[in-house]
Amino acid sequence: MIATWYGIVSFMLIAYVALDGRNFGIGMLQAIVARTAEERRLVIAAIGPLWSWHEVWLVGFGGTLLAVFPRIIASAFAGYYLALFLILWSLILRGISLELGGHINDHLWQSFWGFVFVVSNLLLATLFGVAAGNLMRGVPLDANGNFSLAFFTDFRVRGDVGLLDWYTVSIAAFTVLMLAAHGATYLTLKTEGAVHDRSAAWAKLLWAAVVPLFIAISLESSFVRPDLFAHAIHNPICWLGLLLLVVSIVTLISGLSTRNEKRAFVASNFLLGSILATGAGTIFPVMLYSTLNPEDSLTAYSAAASRDSLLIAFVWWPIAFVLATAYALFISRRYPGKVSVKRDTQGVY
């Protein structure tokens, strides 16, 4: 039961990263692939009517985590206090730049919000990368399940660590590149013209840059948490994740080289998902690893709500999930194919 719930919340987080991560990528790339006001509008239009639905995966993940692993929320959210508020403020800026930017047809107004949009997306990709790095490396959790994380301490990865150190910063760099590549793959699928051509070129370039960084962070992870790899060998989920990763890479390469844009984008989602799933499988059952004393780590088993609460959530969650997916499919079927500025611009241009 508890392992299933660990799987479900991991899935929700993966869905969030794949869906909203693509918007972070598009947001960062807007600075590069769009050069005129019209091209910027096209990029925004490609994000589509469902960006708010994508963002809700984060809220759904947070709510579900609170219901089934309340002690994780209590420890981690208070511990990551400053980092979380930076994420919240960046989400606010990202949301309003998207919603308000189109309200006035004026180039000063729009270039200002375009700038805010790019910066907030870059910040979000970086911060979520730092958060992922912290999850792998661990946090200074004490015996009572509490910790409080400074922005940085001595940039080392053991003992009294901070939010930023050489390891978490490199994971953040990897995340930024990877989400940019993911966004470029999607823009290639949804746009035409100059934006399409630039996106296609950037997608190839960015994916090529992701590979050496992925090898680098894998080596770094084995140095930071040597125990993880010994543990992962015995976990079939990790092997499955690796298999999926290999298949996605092959599919992505074939999609990019044969210009099968849909195939490339599907593969890009699975690639992202398989990396995260392998990561989630590797750390299981530990959800918050203590860098001070591994004995004090919070596991899925010690952090879960009571059996009754888990059972109750198990009844309603699948219904809600099916409904949520149905709504999005219903809407996205009305927005097939490439977007056009004329039809899909959000705002009063």
Question: Minimum Å distance from CB 248 to other proteins?
Answer: 26
Q: Which is nearer to other proteins, 210 or 304 (CB)?
A: 304
The angle formed by the CA atoms of residues 6, 290 and 215, to the nearest 5 degrees, is: 75
User: Of the candidates 1, 32, 82, 230, which one interacts with other proteins according to CB under 8 A?
Assistant: 82
What is the residue type of 279?
G
Question: CB 316 → other proteins: shortest distance, Å?
Answer: 6
* Tokens linked to 314: 């198990």
Nearer to other proteins, 53 or 239 (CB): 53
Question: Cβ closer to other proteins: 7 or 49?
Answer: 49
> Does position 71 bind other proteins by CB under 8 A?
yes
Q: Which region among 174-182, 227-235, 278-286, 308-316 touches other proteins (by CB under 8 A)? A: 308-316
Binding segment for other proteins (CB under 8 A), chosen from 44-52, 239-247, 255-263, 273-281, is 44-52
**Of the two residues 237 and 313, which places its CB atom closer to other proteins in the complex?**
313
Residue 148 or 222 having the CB closest to other proteins: 148
**CB–CB of 68/305 below 8 Å?**
yes
Q: Phi/psi at 69 (nearest 5 deg)?
A: -125, 65
What does each C-alpha distance from 290 to 92, 158, 276 come to in angstroms? 31, 10, 21
Instruction: For Cα atoms 275, 265, 239, give the angle at the middle one, nearest 5 degrees.
Output: 25
Which listed range, 66-74, 124-132, 155-163, 263-271, lies at the site for other proteins (CB under 8 A)?
A: 66-74
User: How far, CA to CA in Å, does 107 sit from each of 40, 104, 198?
Assistant: 11, 9, 23
Q: Is 37 helix (H, G, I), strand (E, B) or coil?
A: helix
CB of 235 to other proteins, least distance (A): 27
What is d(CA 111, CA 74) in angstroms, rounded to the nearest whole number? 40
Work out how close the CB of 257 gets to other proteins at its nearest, in angstroms, rounded to a whole number: 33
Could you say whether residue 322 binds other proteins (CB under 8 A)?
Answer: no
Per-residue x/- track, 263-302, other proteins (CB under 8 A): ----------------------------------------
At position 137, the amino acid (one-letter code) is: R
Q: Alpha-carbon distance 315 to 86, whole Å?
A: 35
Does 101 bind other proteins (CB under 8 A)? Our answer is no
- Contact set for other proteins, span 126-185 (CB under 8 A): 146-148
Q: Does 38 bind other proteins (CB under 8 A)?
A: no
- Print the binding letters for residues 102-121 with other proteins: x by CB under 8 A, - otherwise: -xxx----------------
C-alpha closest to that of 255 among 276, 235, 270, 237: 270
- Is 330 a binding residue for other proteins by CB under 8 A? The answer is yes
Minimal distance, residue 331 CB to other proteins, in Å: 5
Cα radius of gyration (the chain)? 20
> What is the nearest approach in angstroms of other proteins to the Cβ of residue 306?
4
Distance of CA 333 to the CA centre of its chain: 24
Stretch of 172-180, 258-266, 269-277, 321-329 contacting other proteins, by CB under 8 A: 321-329
Residue pair 265/251 in contact by the 8 Å Cβ criterion:
no
The answer to whether the CB of 263 falls within 8 A of the CB of 254 is yes
Give kind and range of the element (H or E) at residue 298. Answer: strand 298-299
What gap in Å lies between CA 227 and CA 221, rounded to an integer?
A: 10
In the set 14, 58, 124, 131, which binds other proteins (CB under 8 A)?
58
* CB crowding 288-315: b at 16 or more within 10 Å, else e: bbbbbeeebbbbbebbbbeeeebeebee
- Count residues near other proteins (CB under 8 A): 71
Binding window for other proteins (CB under 8 A); candidates: 130-138, 158-166, 171-179, 312-320: 312-320
Taking CB under 8 A as the binding criterion, the range among 182-190, 198-206, 231-239, 311-319 that sits at the site for other proteins is 311-319
